[in-house]
Structure 1
Amino acid sequence: MRRAFFLVLVFLTACGRSEPVRTDVNASQTRPPQFSDADPVEFGSQSPRNFRVHGVDLSKYQATIDWNAAKRAGVNFAWIKATEGGDLLDVAFAANHDNAARAGVAVGAYHFFYWCRPAAEQARWFIRNVPKRAGDLPPVLDLEWTPFSPTCTRRPPQGEVIREAQIFLDILERHYGQRPLVYATKEIWDDRDLRPLRAEFWLRSTAKPVREVYDRTPWRIWQYSATGRVPGIAGDVDLNAFNGSPADWQSWYGRRAIR
C-alpha cells in the first residue's frame, strides 16, 4: 500500500502561542478497533464491525485524553468540537487537536449549529478559532435540534434550514479549500430533508444499521455508538466507522485533507 504522509503545521494562535507544532500523520497506517461498549447493540449482518477504519468524536467532556493509547487502540481519526453558535469555544479544542495530531491521529474540527444566530456569523466564529492547517480533516457542520437549550429551541422551516446550512458550508469551503461534511441525527433528518445539501453525510444511528435508518442514503461516516469505551479515554465516547476499506480511507484522506 502506498504511504501518504502529511506534514501538519499546527499554529496555536487560539491559545496565545505562536510556535508551530510539527507532526507526521500517516494516513495509510490504520489500526483495527480495540474498543468495547458500555451498552452494546447487535446490528446483525450490517454491523459496524464490518468496517475496518474507526474513530471518535469528542469535546471537553471527555477530559484529559491519552491520545497515544487511543491511537494504539484503533482511533484512526477524530473530530474535535471547536465551536458552537457565534460565541462559544470548546476550551479543550486546542489541546485535543494538537495532542491527537502528535499521536498520529487524523484530526479535524466540528461546529455545533445554533438555530438562533445567522449562519455567516457562525462561520466567521469557526474560522476565527480554527486555523487552516495542512493535513487536517475537512470541517464538520453538526446539525441537530436543541429541545433542551435554555436560549434557543427553534426548529426553522425546510427552506431556512437548507439556506443557512449552505451559507455556512460555502463560507468554510472557500476558506479551508474543502467542503465540510454534514453530521445529522435521525430526528432532524426526518423533520427536514437534508439531502439537498451538497455535502458528504455523517449519520448517527446507534440502535439500527445506518442503511436501514436513512433509507440507503449515501454516507461517509457512521456514528454507531455514544457509549463506546476506548483505552486512553475515560468514560463514554462516540464511536464512528468510515465507509470503506483502509485503502479507501487512504484515498479519501488524500483527497479531502486540508492543504
Structure 2
Amino acid sequence: MPSERASRRRPSRRTWVFVSSGVLVVLLVLGALAFGGVIWPGRVFATGHDVRGVDVSSYQGEIDWDVLAAQDIDFAYIKSTEGSSDVDEFFAANWAGAMSSDLLVGAYHFMSFDSPGETQADNIIANVPADGTLPIAIDVEYYGAYFDAPPSRDQVTSILVPLLDRLEAHYGVTPVLYATAPAYSRYLTDAYAENPIWIRSVVLPPSLDDGRDWTIWQYSHRDRLDGYTGTEYFIDMNVSALTRDELAALAAR
C-alpha cells in the first residue's frame, strides 16, 4: 500500500484533465493563428535571409505593384503559363506592373505531365517576354490524380529535359526549377546540376536529400500583404540564399 505522502504527491485525475484541457486549448489557438496566417513556422527561420520575394498568379487578382513592391520585397515570380495552351489571365498585366517597379521579375510555368515538353516550351515562348530580370522557372509538382498515382521519373524526364533545353536556347539563361519536397525527391534528386533550385518547405528550412544547396525557398503560403484584391486572401512568400545582386546575376545574358 502506498504511503500517505506518496498518495499526496500523485497528481489527481482532475489535475490531469485540467492540464490536458489547457494543452488542447493552446494547440487549438496556435492552429487557428497558423490557419489565419498570423503565425507561420517557416517565417521564424526565414528571417535569417535578407532577400525576400513573392510569387503570384490569377488568384491574387489585380495587383498594385507599387504598393506590393514597397513592402520589403526584392523579387517577384509571376505565373505565366500552364501546360501547352493555358495562359494565366493576369500575366500580361502583372508582368507590365512588376517590370515597372524596382523588383527583380521572373515568370513561372506550371509543368503538365500530360503534354510534351516541346509544346509547353512553345506556349511559354509565345507569351513570356525575354526582358525578365530573373530566369524562367518551371514548377514541378503533383496535381490532381497524380497525387495518388505520380508519373515515373522517366516520364517526367522525357517532358522536362526538352522543355528546359528549348527555354535555355531561346532565352539564353538556365531556367530555375521549382519543386515541392516529394517532387524533388522523385524527379530532381542528383540531376539538373546547372539549374538553380527553388524549393517549397512551409514548416522547417529545406534540406535537399542529395545535399544540394537551394537558391530560393518558399517558406510560406499563408502570408498577407497589401496591394492585391483577388479571391485568394494569402500570398506565397520566399527568401533567397543569394544576395540581391547574385540573384540578379542568374539572368545575366
Specify which of 124, 130, 138 is matched with residue 132 of structure 1: 130
**Per-residue deviation at 1:185?**
0.5
Contact between 1:146 and 1:153, CA under 8 Å: does it hold in 2?
Answer: no
SS of alignment partner, residue 178 of structure 1: coil
For residues 184 and 92 of structure 1, do their structure 2 counterparts lie closer, same or farther at Cα, with a shift above 3 Å needed? Answer: same
Matches of 2:87 and 2:209 in 1, distance apart? Answer: 31
Alpha-carbon offset, residue 176 of structure 1? 0.3
Instruction: Write the mapping of 1:1-259 to structure 2, written as runs, cut at 5 A.
Output: 38-43=37-42, 47-133=45-131, 135-148=132-145, 155-198=150-193, 199-211=195-207, 214=209, 216-234=211-229, 235-244=233-242, 248-253=243-248, 255-257=249-251, 259=253
AA matched with 1:203 = I
Letter in 2 for 1:257: A
Alpha carbons 1:115, 1:154 under 8 Å: kept? no
Q: Which residue of the partner structure matches residue 20 of structure 1?
A: none
Counterpart-to-counterpart distance in 1, 2:190 and 2:139? 15
Residue identity opposite 2:199 in structure 1? L
CA contact (8 A) 2:42 2:219 kept: no
Unaligned segments of structure 1, at least 5 residues:
1-36
Kept after mapping to 1: 8 A contact 2:108/2:139: yes
**Does the C-alpha gap of structure 1 residues 106 and 252 become closer, same or farther in structure 2, counting only changes over 3 Å?**
closer
1:116·1:154 contact (CA, 8 Å) conserved in 2?
no
Task: Give me the TM-score of the superposition, normalised by structure 2.
Answer: 0.77
Cα distance between partner residues in 2 of 1:165 and 1:148? 19
Q: Is the 8 A contact 2:41 2:202 kept in 1?
A: no
In structure 2, distance between residues paired with 1:143 and 1:251: 24
In structure 2, how many angstroms separate the alpha carbons of the residues matched to 1:38 and 1:148?
28
Q: What's the offset of the Cα at 1:136?
A: 2.5
Give TM-score, length-normalised by structure 1: 0.76
Q: Percent identity?
A: 33
Greater share of helix residues, 1 or 2? 2
CA contact (8 A) 2:120 2:163 kept: yes
Matched with 1:15 is none
CA apart distance, 1:101: 1.3
Structure 1 residues 154 and 167, CA, compared in 2 at 3 Å: closer, same or farther?
farther
Shift of the alpha carbon at 1:210?
1.1
Higher strand share: 1
Q: Deviations over 1:200-227 (max 9, x none)?
A: 100000011113x656431100000001
Deviations 1:32-58 (A, max 9, x none): xxxxx71523349x7100000100001
